[in-house]
Amino acid sequence: MTTDEQRATPLTPVLSRYWDAPRSWTLETYRAHAGYRALPKALRMQPDEVIATVKDSGLRGRGGAGFPTGMKWGFIPQDDPAKPHYLVVNADESEPGTCKDIPLMLATPHTLIEGIIIAAYAIRAAHAFVYLRGEVLPVLRRMQYAVDEAYAAGYLGHDILGSGYDLDLIVHAGAGAYICGEETALLDSLEGRRGQPRLRPPFPAVAGLYACPTVVNNVESIASVPAILRNGVDWFRTMGSEKSPGFTLYSLSGHVTTPGQYEAPLGITLRELLGYAGGMRAGHELKFWTPGGSSTPLFTAEHLDVPLDYEGVGAAGSMLGTKALQCFDDTTCVARAVLRWTEFYAHESCGKCTPCREGTYWLVQLLQRLEAGRGTEADLDKLLDIADNINGKSFCALGDGAASPIVSSLKYFRDEYVDHLRQGGCPFDPARSTVWA
């Protein structure tokens, strides 16, 4: 395989275009890079025209589920003037391996703010919120700094750019619970309650924040909107595929020579992305990877050429999710990686439903035993049985996500689990693995 073959699809830096520029986060730098040029254009359009443009672009939610963004905006009912509409940006990024929204907010917070103003105008909201992880204080400060700059420049507040449109934007710090990234738990938390998922339907578009029509969108989805408005739908559709158009941020991590965020068209392959990232670290081979964070079924080296879009990854038996490509090489014990993820899900389970609350606990117990080389082969089937009782039977997607690495690791690496039992311990020398260092 030549380098040219590895890099057949070019990178398309749009969101990340000037992340390395000096003081990239300031209003001055944003304006110097065509910032806030989409906003006056949007404000001259009717709100429904803005929604139609985003619908036509085919932009799909970048938070994991890939739901069409314009369609979600179009769900907001317009027939009850007594109920305000809200826009809530889900900036609670916490899926293991996912590291795109936080760099985006640190590097170019105004991209997100311009997208928020356009989206809020389109859905006729006068209040918008950014729900951000409270632990990442530098990001919180940077967002607030940018919001203050935007108010001072007349992009937020009363009569934005003389259009007659008013919008207030609040940056809200969450308290660091993975479940608060689930959109309805996030809304509960924003309302001041303990964050636990609500029953859907009704979806937030009908009854969200304070039981009013609410759009909840991911940071990257909203930040993509100004470029679409500025450059047009046809431009956006020159990238990606018919059903998964556009550019997106892939997070490469693990045993990769140059980990980081790579912005490319949907449909690029991991083989191509590794071509840009310098491949796996010297002297080692790719063993397994996650296409969309640890909630998505694992892939192996045989999936290097799967197109990384919603259809391609789905057809190959996984999900594109958050596009968090965690790559593990031949020194990694798969049982140990799966145990680590499962401990995370057990810890973060909110406890509302029995399959997830009890199931994740028992998965950890069994995995701890297996990884230490104790237990029996029957435990492997027990793992699958518990995963089956969680998957599709839990109240929210956290349960399904916890079952994914169990089922897929047993599909591809059952022999490695059995080796633990035969050898009475982990066949991998932990000292050689850098993953857990």
* Ranges within 361-400 binding ligand NAI (CB under 6 A): 397
Single out the residue of 40, 77, 138, 351 in contact with ligand SF4 (rule: CB under 6 A): 351
Smallest separation, CB 44 to ligand SF4 (Å): 43
Q: 244 burial class (0-12, 13-18, 19+ CB within 10 angstroms)?
A: buried
Question: What does 391 bind: ligand SF4, ligand NAI, none (CB cut-off 5 to 8 Å by kind)?
Answer: none
Which stretch in 20-28, 78-86, 88-96, 139-147 sits in contact with ligand NAI by CB under 6 A? 88-96
Question: What does 352 bind: ligand SF4, ligand NAI, none (CB cut-off 5 to 8 Å by kind)?
Answer: ligand SF4
CA torsion 239-245-251-253 (nearest 10°) is: -80
Single out the residue of 204, 246, 279, 399 in contact with ligand NAI (rule: CB under 6 A): 204
Give the orientation angle of helix 378-390 with respect to helix 397-423, to 10 degrees.
Answer: 180
* Interatomic CA distance for residues 39 and 160, integer angstroms: 10
CA-based max dimension of the chain: 74
Question: What does 96 bind: ligand SF4, ligand NAI, none (CB cut-off 5 to 8 Å by kind)?
Answer: none
Identify which of residues 179 and 380 has a Cβ nearer to ligand SF4 in the complex. Answer: 179
- Can residue 350 be called a binding residue for ligand SF4 (CB under 6 A)? yes
- Can residue 179 be called a binding residue for ligand SF4 (CB under 6 A)? yes
- Can residue 249 be called a binding residue for ligand SF4 (CB under 6 A)? no
Which stretch in 13-21, 136-144, 371-379, 389-397 sits in contact with ligand SF4 by CB under 6 A? 389-397
- Can residue 325 be called a binding residue for ligand NAI (CB under 6 A)? no
First to last CA, the chain: 32
CA torsion 52-53-56-57 (nearest 10°) is: -150
Single out the residue of 121, 250, 395, 428 in contact with ligand SF4 (rule: CB under 6 A): 395
- Can residue 292 be called a binding residue for ligand SF4 (CB under 6 A)? no
Single out the residue of 39, 249, 398, 410 in contact with ligand SF4 (rule: CB under 6 A): 398
Q: Sketch the per residue contact string, 194 through 213, with ligand SF4: x for CB under 6 A, - otherwise.
A: ---x----------------
Smallest separation, CB 198 to ligand SF4 (Å): 10
- Can residue 181 be called a binding residue for ligand NAI (CB under 6 A)? yes
Identify which of residues 66 and 375 has a Cβ nearer to ligand NAI in the complex. Answer: 66
In the sheet that holds 260-265, the strands lie side by side as: 260-265, 247-254, 324-329, 286-290, 299-300
Size of the site for ligand NAI (CB under 6 A): 23
- Can residue 322 be called a binding residue for ligand NAI (CB under 6 A)? yes
Look at strands 324-329 and 299-300 and give their pairing.
unpaired
- Can residue 357 be called a binding residue for ligand SF4 (CB under 6 A)? yes
* Interatomic CA distance for residues 324 and 307, integer angstroms: 14
- Can residue 203 be called a binding residue for ligand NAI (CB under 6 A)? yes
Question: What does 181 bind: ligand SF4, ligand NAI, none (CB cut-off 5 to 8 Å by kind)?
Answer: ligand NAI
Single out the residue of 41, 124, 352, 369 in contact with ligand SF4 (rule: CB under 6 A): 352
* Amino acid identity for residue 421 in this structure: L
Look at strands 286-290 and 299-300 and give their pairing.
antiparallel
Look at strands 214-218 and 260-265 and give their pairing.
unpaired
Question: What does 204 bind: ligand SF4, ligand NAI, none (CB cut-off 5 to 8 Å by kind)?
Answer: ligand NAI
- Can residue 180 be called a binding residue for ligand SF4 (CB under 6 A)? no
Question: What does 216 bind: ligand NAI, ligand SF4, none (CB cut-off 5 to 8 Å by kind)?
Answer: ligand NAI
Structure tokens at 299: 């892939």
Smallest separation, CB 371 to ligand NAI (Å): 24
* Interatomic CA distance for residues 379 and 386, integer angstroms: 10
Identify which of residues 354 and 376 has a Cβ nearer to ligand SF4 in the complex. Answer: 354
Binding residues for ligand NAI, per CB under 6 A?
A: 61, 63-65, 67, 72, 75, 93-95, 98, 181, 183, 203-205, 216, 292, 295, 319, 321-322, 397
Binding residues for ligand SF4, per CB under 6 A?
A: 179, 197, 349-353, 356-357, 394-396, 398-399
